[in-house]
Amino acid sequence: MRWLLTGGSGLLGHALSRYLIENGHQVSVVVGQHKCLVPGVVSHHMDLSRLDDLQDLLDNSRPDFIVHAAALTNVDACETQPELANFLHAEVACYIASCASKNNSRFIYISTDHLWAGENSFICEDQPVEPINVYAASKAKGEQLVQSVNFDAQLIRTNFFGVGLPWRDSLWSWMKKKLESGETVPAFHDAYFTPTCLPLLSRDIVELASYSVGGVFNLAGSERLSKFDFAMKLAKHIGVESSLVQATSMGEVKLTAERPRDLSLSSRRYQKFLGRMPPTLDEAFAVMDNEKPF
152-164 pLDDT per residue, tens: 999 999 999 999 9
**235 part of a folded domain:** no
Residue 52: Cβ-neighbour burial (10 angstroms; 0-12, 13-18, 19+)? exposed
**212 part of a folded domain:** yes
- Contact (Cβ atoms closer than 8 angstroms) between residue 242 and residue 232: yes
**pLDDT per residue over 279-294, tens digit each?**
999 999 999 999 999 9
**8 part of a folded domain:** yes
Q: pLDDT at position 54, please?
A: 92
Res. 133: pLDDT tops 90: yes
**253 part of a folded domain:** no
- CB-based contacts of 84-91 (< 8 A; 24+ apart in sequence): 85/134, 85/135, 85/138, 86/134, 86/138, 86/141, 87/49, 88/48, 88/138, 89/135, 89/138, 89/139, 89/141, 89/142, 90/138, 90/139, 90/141, 90/142, 90/145, 91/145
What region, left, alpha or beta, does residue 129 occupy, with left being phi > 0 and alpha being psi -120 to 50 degrees?
A: beta
SS3 (DSSP) at 126: coil
**166 part of a folded domain:** no
Domain count, the chain: 1
Q: pLDDT at position 255, please?
A: 87
Q: pLDDT at position 208, please?
A: 96
- Contact (Cβ atoms closer than 8 angstroms) between residue 70 and residue 92: yes
Q: pLDDT at position 199, please?
A: 98
**100 part of a folded domain:** yes
Question: What is the arithmetic mean of pLDDT over 230-246?
Answer: 97
**228 part of a folded domain:** no
Percent of the chain with pLDDT over 70: 100
**29 part of a folded domain:** yes
Res. 253: pLDDT tops 90: no
Question: What is the arithmetic mean of pLDDT over 35-40?
Answer: 97
Domain enclosing residue 124, as ranges: 2-161+196-222+265-279
Q: pLDDT at position 118, please?
A: 96
**Claim: this prediction has a pTM higher than 0.85:** yes
CATH of the domain at 84: 3.40.50.720
